[in-house]
Amino acid sequence: MLRPQDSSTRERKSLNGLWRFALDGASEGRSAGWVSGPLPAARDMAVPASFNDIAADAEVRDYFGDVWYQTTVRVPRVWDGRRIVLHFESVTHRATVWVNDTEVVSHEGGYTPFEADITALVVAGDEARVTVVVNNTLSFQTIPPGVIEDTPDGKRQIYWHDFFNYAGIHRTVWLYSTGRAHVTDVTVVTDLDGDDGSIEYTTEAQDADGTRVRVVLRDADGVEVATADGPSGTLTVENVHRWAPGDGYLYDLEVQLVDGNGDVVDSYHQSVGVRTVAVDGTRFLINGEPFYFTGFGKHEDLPVIGKGHNDAFMLHDFALLEWIGANSFRTSHYPYAQDVLDYADRRGIVVIDETAAVGLNMSIGGGIFGGQGYTTFSPGTANDETREVHAQAIRELVARDKNHPSVVLWSIANEPESDTEGAEKYFEPLFTLTRQLDPTRPVGFVNVMLAPYGKCRVSQFADVLMLNRYYGWYVHTGELRAAELAFEEELRGWASENKPIIITEYGADTYPGLHSVTPTPWTEEYQVAYLDMNHRVFDRIDAVVGEQVWNFADFATTSGIMRVGGNKKGVFTRDRQPKAAAYALRRRWRDQA
Ligand code: GCB
């Protein structure tokens, strides 16, 4: 599915702003016909944003079940006779949408786009009512999983991932128009041959009889550098300007549908960064050069708007990445907004792109080790149906992000159970599927400390080993010497597998402003000493090709005795102020660069 854009043949209109919003605790909205008029007892709600923190009301913050959103949109008069589509960039975790009284689309999964052709339901120049029922409940058949438990106090939503279950309409909602004949998909795969580059392109189109495809490639100055005819083909670029870490150079590929008169009836622009990615033994290669990842696991998490996308914070976060000398991040623990991926392309920031499969591990809850009272993989818990939902999440992620040069590695899950036969059976087909969908990028998953070297049964399927390790925090707490020895011993084991190792998480909770002259967990000094210890270990092991600190910034979690106003492993606070560790990392990463 192509992201809506303005082009010479396409127009879009954002539906962002204030919508009406109502909780539906009694699940009566459908039977009571809420779609047929203004929502009863509604309040205002911002789109895009999570609904949880906006209302200053515990009932809303902790709500699970159906919530209703509604707005009206006037269809531009000039779209008469055009194809009209309603597009959602993400609704967490699932949605059903009506236009006026007609149900038009449902979608499962909180972080990938979906859309409906509503041409037959609207009239150019008139208003249309858009109603969305959003549901945020988690079960063993959702990604991420959860369970609703009966407690003496009523029903409770339990989940095992260590971040707050923010929900709502998190990204832009678009109404857009195209002509009848329109491009529906573009895929680009790039390669290098000495100084030259090649772009293999494939296009798909609908209602396009009587048209032909023409593609035009322009450089960043708008100068035409190659053209081709046909729905697929290969373009060659002499003396190509490569996309590379720190150099987000992008070409523009315009895909045109041209009718019999020579008129362009559809035009879609696809950015292209020409680069290669490969794994060679323990090396991770970008453009044939060994690449060392520096950076963070992040979150989409902000005060008030929760997981709502915000351009100002996006720019600020990228400015901080640059300030600190980070060259990469992981979209822990779900696909991030497309604006973020687009911007990573433009800034030359490297991305590990992750699905929302987090918390598939009944030995951890909310970041804390300890049995959660369920078996992870079983017919009654994570089962074949879960795997199909997971597979669909992978399909939608690859479909959405396949053309981003910044994306160099797929992470199909974070810290699932991976030391059991059930895990091995669950994951093998998902690796196969991901490779079928995208043979050009390495595939991996993020391994948890509970499945250390020698015990993990899933890492055999991965091209790259991504490890989350907390020596000196969750184990050997405050004992950095012991932590250093134990960590090095485990890592040497992994290094013998002859695959690149990226440490995708290491971190220590740190309360900003807490200090000590002795090594005391939670202080700013301890976070620095902890990171230094980790870095000594990484620097001694050649197979380690990346370090991504957990986390870029403090973030919201469920409440619990291990979390002080959220997870405090941020190198920046939630409002993006630096802790001492930010300066320490800046020295290491900028000196290394
Ligand atoms: C992890 C998880 C991450 C948690 C982190 C922690 O291993 O991947 O989601 O937030 O540990 O701080 O415990």
Tens-place pLDDT, residues 206-249? 999 999 999 999 999 999 999 999 999 999 999 999 999 999 99
Q: Is the preceding omega at residue 48 within 30 degrees of 0, hence cis?
A: yes
Q: Give which of 406, 404, 405 is closest to 330, Cα–Cα.
A: 406
The predicted-structure confidence for 148-169, as pLDDT tens digits, reads as follows: 999 998 999 999 999 999 999 9
Region 295-313: mean pLDDT is 98
Evaluate if residue 255 carries a pLDDT over 80.
yes
The predicted-structure confidence for 76-113, as pLDDT tens digits, reads as follows: 999 999 999 999 999 999 999 999 999 999 999 999 99
Region 246-253: mean pLDDT is 98
User: Is position 525 annotated as part of the catalytic site?
Assistant: no
Region 446-465: mean pLDDT is 97
Evaluate if residue 412 carries a pLDDT over 70.
yes
Neighbours of 146 (CB within 10 A): 20
User: Is position 200 annotated as part of the catalytic site?
Assistant: no
Element (H, E) at 283: strand 283-286
Cα separation, 85 vs 319, in Å, equals 35
Would you say the CB of residue 505 lies under 6 angstroms from ligand 1? Answer: yes
Contact between residue 404 and residue 351 where contact means Cβ atoms under 8 Å apart: yes
**Which residues make Cβ contacts (< 8 Å) with residue 340, sequence separation at least 6?**
300, 309, 314, 331
Atom of ligand 1 nearest to the CA of 449: 7
Cα separation, 531 vs 557, in Å, equals 23
Residue bearing the CA closest to ligand 1, atom 11: 367
The alpha carbon torsion through 298, 299, 302, 306 (nearest 10 deg) reads 180
Evaluate if residue 437 carries a pLDDT over 70.
yes
Q: Is the preceding omega at residue 327 within 30 degrees of 0, hence cis?
A: no
Would you say the CB of residue 414 lies under 6 angstroms from ligand 1? Answer: yes
Region 562-579: mean pLDDT is 96
Distance from residue 188's CA to the centre of ligand 1 (Å):
34
Would you say the CB of residue 359 lies under 6 angstroms from ligand 1? Answer: no
Percent of the chain scoring above 90 in pLDDT: 97
Evaluate if residue 593 carries a pLDDT over 60.
no
Evaluate if residue 369 carries a pLDDT over 90.
no
Would you say the CB of residue 567 lies under 6 angstroms from ligand 1? Answer: yes
Please, what's the b/e burial string for 332-360 (b: 16 or more CB within 10 A of its CB; e: otherwise)?
A: bbbbbbbbbbbbbbbbbbbbbbbbbbbbb
Distance from residue 344's CA to the centre of ligand 1 (Å):
24
pLDDT at 592: 63
Handedness of CA 311, 49, 506, 282 (dihedral sign): negative
Residue bearing the CA closest to ligand 1, atom 2: 367
pLDDT band at residue 364 using 50, 70 and 90 as cut-offs: confident
Contact between residue 38 and residue 161 where contact means Cβ atoms under 8 Å apart: no
Category of 523 on φ-ψ map: left (φ > 0), alpha (ψ -120 to 50) or beta: beta
pLDDT at 114: 98
Q: Determine the residue of 446, 567, 571, 574 to mutate for testing ligand 1's pocket, defined as the one with the most ligand atoms within 8 A of the Cβ atom.
A: 567
Region 509-533: mean pLDDT is 97
Would you say the CB of residue 53 lies under 6 angstroms from ligand 1? Answer: no
Burial of residue 544, with CB atoms counted within 10 A of its CB: 0-12 exposed, 13-18 middle, 19 or more buried = buried
- pTM across the whole model: 0.98
Cα 229 off chain centre by? 34
Residue bearing the CA closest to ligand 1, atom 13: 367
The predicted-structure confidence for 315-324, as pLDDT tens digits, reads as follows: 999 999 999 9
Residue 135: how many CA atoms within 13 Å on its side-chain side? 17
Region 465-472: mean pLDDT is 98
